[in-house]
């Protein structure tokens, strides 16, 4: 961006543009800001929980009532309004430029899909449901606020499907002439696979949520035990969406990691085609493994074996991708900058989380781990250590082109130095409390066996959570301050061979 | 309200209808919440849904009038930004495929539950993993299954009025026929005929819905409700969702009829075709649903 452009008032000072923009870059920024705001709210919710869990015993009686609500809201809002919204934001910002298109296929529906998230989030936050985000009946079909929550989920899901169709149509019809799908960059491919999953899986959660609402409001007996089909049916349906949903969350992170590692290693990604196929394999296999959330529900030995086997299979493409990232960097001229470090943080988190995934997938071990904090540690390593790390890296990578200013690099390195131990302490702490038997969604652990060990590891977790908070505060401060007082970014602030995210050759 | 503004550095695109429509979805949420909550006023819920529909229809009419009256209107002036040409109906096929998943799920679960619970169909004693009570209902218990009957022990053939619904099915098929005629008329560039056939389609669709509403009130009066066992639950789930889709279809067909009325439909028939695809899909779903719920 030129200096004249910076002296103009930013676009978001103009209410017509702030609300009505159909430009993909501006909508991308709206999504990203929305994601960061929800990250702050949802993070604050869970920090309240972590403070309570620092000591055994109840410090604040109100927390006994609030705890389930905070934990449920944290789950829903992180999934739908931080990771999914953030990924859509990056997709919006980057995909058209990367494929050479003017904008998305439907620029106005792009705007509509964003603004739908506002009432969606409002409903989810105000529903105050306390069942955990997994909404298992019969508790959930008796809970207050279910109608409002389902309203929010329907809006969030519809927004996601509109966005998915928009991305798919854009990528399939608006690529610049000569750009074949095979050559297309890996981030755009990750958006393709993400959109396909969203498109196919979202009807499942819509049906499930409505059936649950019918159980509560109309007295139907889909998931209840009175002349009904039972809670296990709900779990099958719920995880039929929610397992593919976790791949919706991880795939854009994989695409961004590929892009950042390749740019900062100044080299094309090793095994470009195998990366595309691996993402596809992960997306497709992701639909076949939902039963691994139900190992302890006694669905039968044969299904349990099948789900275990298929889940282990997902490790193969995941491993291929991890090795390809490493091979991309092997003997490369690497620019050590914030974005690259955070993407390396992704690989670390993904591997640590993946390893604990192997553990929970092992049938006999899952009987010990199920419904303990071990599972919570597993998936947070993947989402936070993995996806969120790379999203932070991508924010730093795009910040110069988005704002025209350069962030403070030293602060970013310090942030990284706090972030890695931060998430390792938090989620390894959870793995350990889980090993010592800490159940999920408990507001307290007084009276459980291994109290001393539990107390120690809960404290480790809480300290790690506050380290994460420190690192986010550093980031917000860095970006905010740099916007006003930072140096002008120039054309190639990272001194890369290919300075922009969309060019193929220098 | 949709403008291209150019300054020295880049052009700015905005539309004020888009955020209005996006934020009005709050009425869908409020509507759902008020309808499906015993403590809240259901009537108010329907009011909320109507408000949203009004905003959506107002936006659609604004769009239709602009596209017809102003050839320069729209985000992209022509199709030159598309490097791969696809037919106009591609997005409708994409959308319909997600609807297919949706209805397969609803109809499939309902029928699978019936196979497991209804002794008349002969699967309940099966020992396989599918359609087996103990597999599907992991906490299952023999005594709690009342079979595929309502609270008085009557099965589908006794509770549901198959004659009236068969006639209704024929009525819906007729509306698909009128939709085909509308498409023919649009290809023949005859706006009067197109409008009339489309209006007929919407009207016949409305008749179908009215008969459904009449059937619902009769059933509810007899005591057959969503709470009447799994039979009642799945019946209202399937027919309710289908009815909602018919309602949306009637709105779409009516908007297209308006477009034809002001002479603005695509002269190659492609936009009527898009609406027609949705309408035929809704009809096909009904035929499958009718077979599996009423006839079997």
pLDDT of residue B2: 46
Residue B236 to residue A203, Cβ atoms within 8 A: no
Predicted model pTM: 0.92
Contacts of A16 in chain B (CB under 8 A): 14, 16
> Among A56-60, A276-280, A293-297, B115-119, where is mean pLDDT lowest?
B115-119
A1-28 per-position pLDDT tens digit: 444 444 567 788 888 889 999 999 999 9
Q: Could you give the ipTM of this predicted complex?
A: 0.88
| CA angle at A464 for the pair A463 and A465, rounded to the nearest 5° | 90
In this prediction, residue A299 has a pLDDT band, given cuts at 50, 70 and 90, of confident
pLDDT of residue B79: 67
A122-133 per-position pLDDT tens digit: 999 999 999 999
Inter-CA distances, B76 with A72, A108, B67, B68, B79, Å: 43, 11, 12, 15, 7
pLDDT of residue A346: 95
Contacts of B139 in chain A (CB under 8 A): 225, 230-232
> How many contiguous H segments (helices) and E segments (strands) does chain A have?
17, 0
Residue A226 to residue B230, Cβ atoms within 8 A: no
Is the pLDDT score of A37 beyond 60? yes
CA distance A113 to chain B (A): 6
What is the per-residue burial (b if ≥16 Cβ within 10 Å, else e) of A375-397?
A: bbbbbbbbbbbbbbbbbbbbbbb
Nearest to B15 among A2, A22, A227 (CB): A22
Is the pLDDT score of B111 beyond 50? yes
**Cβ distance A425 to A460 under 8 Å?**
yes
Residue of chain A with shortest Cα separation from B141: A225
Q: How far is CA B20 from the centre of its chain?
A: 23
**Cβ distance A374 to A444 under 8 Å?**
no
Nearest to A229 among B32, B38, B137 (CB): B137
A129-145 per-position pLDDT tens digit: 999 999 999 899 889 99
Stretch B167-181: mean pLDDT, rounded?
A: 95
Q: Which of B273, B257, B282 is nearest to B92 (CA)?
A: B273
pLDDT of residue A32: 95
Q: How far apart are CA A313 and CA A131, in angstroms?
A: 32
Mutate to test the interface with A, among B29, B48, B59, B243 (most CBs of A within 10 A): B29
Q: How far is CA A402 from the centre of its chain?
A: 22
Inter-CA distances, B118 with A219, B9, B135, Å: 20, 69, 15
Mutate to test the interface with A, among B18, B20, B51, B78 (most CBs of A within 10 A): B18
Mutate to test the interface with A, among B59, B87, B98, B117 (most CBs of A within 10 A): B98
Contacts of A199 in chain B (CB under 8 A): 94, 98
Is the pLDDT score of B261 beyond 80? yes
Nearest to B101 among A200, A217, A302 (CB): A200
Q: Which of A311, A261, A256 is nearest to A282 (CA)?
A: A311
**Cβ distance A115 to B18 under 8 Å?**
yes
Residue of chain B with shortest Cα separation from A167: B91
Contacts of B36 in chain A (CB under 8 A): 147, 150, 213-214, 216-218
Residue B230 to residue A222, Cβ atoms within 8 A: yes
Contacts of A176 in chain B (CB under 8 A): 83
pLDDT of residue A8: 66
pLDDT of residue B139: 47
What is the per-residue burial (b if ≥16 Cβ within 10 Å, else e) of B83-93?
A: beeeeebebbe
B 114-133 residues inside an 8 A Cβ radius of A: 129
- Residues paired with residue B2 on neighbouring β-strands, in sequence order: B15
Q: Compute the count of residue pairs across chains A and B with CB atoms less than 8 Å apart.
A: 219
Q: How many CB atoms lie within 10 A of CB A4?
A: 9
Q: Which of A94, A85, A92 is nearest to A35 (CA)?
A: A85
Q: Which of A83, A84, A91, A80 is nearest to A25 (CA)?
A: A91
**Cβ distance A386 to A351 under 8 Å?**
no
> Among B8-17, B95-104, B124-133, B235-244, where is mean pLDDT lowest?
B124-133
pLDDT of residue B8: 32
Residue of chain B with shortest Cα separation from A179: B83
The encoded tokens of residue B136 equal 């599907």
Contacts of A297 in chain B (CB under 8 A): 138
Q: How far apart are CA A453 and CA A458, in angstroms?
A: 8
Is the pLDDT score of A288 beyond 60? yes
Q: Looking at the complex, does the CB of residue A460 fall below 8 Å from at least one CB of chain B?
A: no
């Amino acid at each position: 961006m030129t200096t004249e452009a910076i002296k103009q008032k930013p676009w978001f000072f103009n209410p017509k543009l702030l609300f009505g923009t159909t430009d993909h870059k501006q909508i991308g920024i709206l999504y990203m800001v929305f994601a960061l705001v929800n990250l702050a709210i949802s993070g604050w919710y869970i920090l309240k929980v972590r403070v309570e869990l620092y000591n055994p015993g109840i410090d604040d009686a109100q927390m006994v009532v609030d705890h389930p609500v905070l934990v449920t809201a944290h789950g829903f809002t992180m999934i739908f309004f931080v990771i999914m919204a953030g990924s859509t934001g990056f997709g919006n910002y980057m995909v058209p430029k990367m494929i050479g298109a003017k904008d998305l296929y439907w620029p106005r529906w792009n705007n509509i899909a964003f603004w739908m998230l506002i009432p969606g989030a409002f409903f989810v936050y105000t529903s105050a449901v306390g069942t955990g985000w997994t909404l298992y009946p019969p508790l959930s079909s008796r809970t207050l606020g279910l109608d409002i929550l389902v309203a929010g989920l329907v809006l969030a899901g519809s927004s996601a499907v509109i966005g998915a169709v928009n991305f798919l149509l854009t990528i399939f019809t608006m690529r610049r002439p000569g750009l074949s799908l095979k050559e297309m960059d890996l981030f755009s491919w990750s958006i393709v696979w993400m959109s396909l999953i969203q498109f196919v899986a979202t009807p499942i959660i819509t049906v499930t949520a409505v059936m649950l609402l019918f159980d509560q409001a109309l007295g139907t007996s889909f998931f209840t035990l009175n002349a009904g089909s039972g809670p296990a049916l709900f779990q099958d349906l719920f995880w039929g969406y929610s397992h593919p949903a976790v791949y919706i969350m991880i795939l854009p992170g994989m695409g961004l990691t590929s892009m950042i590692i390749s740019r900062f290693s100044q080299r094309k990604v090793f095994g470009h085609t195998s990366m595309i196929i691996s993402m596809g394999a992960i997306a497709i296999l992701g639909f076949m493994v939902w039963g691994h959330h139900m190992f302890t529900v006694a669905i039968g030995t044969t299904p349990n074996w099948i789900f275990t086997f298929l889940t282990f299979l997902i490790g193969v493409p995941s491993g291929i991708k991890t090795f390809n990232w490493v091979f991309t960097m092997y003997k490369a001229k690497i620019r050590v900058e914030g974005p690259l470090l955070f993407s390396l943080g992704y690989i670390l988190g993904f591997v640590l989380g993946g390893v604990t995934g192997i553990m929970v997938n092992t049938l006999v071990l899952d009987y010990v781990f199920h419904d303990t904090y071990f599972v919570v540690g597993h998936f947070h390593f993947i989402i936070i250590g993995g996806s969120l790390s790379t999203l932070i890296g991508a924010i730093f990578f795009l910040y110069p082109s988005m704002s025209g200013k350069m962030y403070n690099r030293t602060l970013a390195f310090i942030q990284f130095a706090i972030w890695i131990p931060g998430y390792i302490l938090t989620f390894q702490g959870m793995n350990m409390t889980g090993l010592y038997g800490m159940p999920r969604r408990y507001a307290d652990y007084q009276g459980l066996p291994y109290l001393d060990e539990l107390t120690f590891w809960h404290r480790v977790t809480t300290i790690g959570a506050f380290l994460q908070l420190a690192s986010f505060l550093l980031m917000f401060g860095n970006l905010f301050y740099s916007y006003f007082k930072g140096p002008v970014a120039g054309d190639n602030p990272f001194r890369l061979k290919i300075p922009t995210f969309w060019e193929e050759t220098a | 309200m949709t403008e291209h503004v150019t300054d020295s550095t880049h052009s700015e695109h905005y539309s004020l209808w888009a955020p209005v429509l996006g934020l009005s979805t709050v009425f869908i949420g409020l509507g759902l919440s008020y309808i499906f909550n015993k403590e809240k006023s259901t009537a108010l819920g329907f009011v909320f849904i109507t408000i949203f529909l009004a905003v959506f229809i107002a936006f659609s009419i604004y769009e239709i009038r602009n596209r017809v009256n102003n050839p320069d209107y729209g985000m992209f002036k022509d199709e030159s930004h598309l490097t791969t040409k696809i037919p106009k109906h591609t997005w409708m096929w994409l959308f319909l495929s997600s609807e297919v998943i949706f209805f397969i799920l609803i109809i499939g679960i309902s029928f699978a539950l019936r196979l497991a619970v209804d002794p008349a169909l002969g699967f309940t004693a099966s020992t396989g993993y599918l359609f087996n009570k103990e597999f599907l209902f992991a906490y299952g218990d023999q005594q709690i299954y009342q079979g595929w009957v309502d609270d008085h022990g009557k099965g589908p053939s006794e509770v549901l009025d198959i004659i009236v619904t068969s006639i209704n099915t024929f009525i819906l098929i007729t509306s698909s026929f009128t939709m085909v005629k509308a498409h023919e008329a649009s290809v023949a560039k005859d706006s009067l005929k197109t409008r009339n056939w489309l209006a007929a389609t919407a009207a016949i669709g409305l008749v179908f819905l009215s008969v459904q509403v009449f059937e619902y009130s009769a059933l509810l009066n007899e005591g057959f409700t969503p709470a009447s066992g799994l039979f009642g639950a799945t019946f209202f789930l399937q027919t309710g969702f289908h009815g909602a889709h018919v309602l949306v279809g009637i709105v779409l067909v009516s908007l297209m009829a308006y477009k034809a009325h002001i002479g603005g439909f695509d002269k190659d028939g492609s936009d009527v075709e898009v609406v027609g695809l949705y309408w035929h899909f809704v009809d096909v779903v009904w035929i499958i649903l009718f077979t599996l719920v009423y006839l079997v």
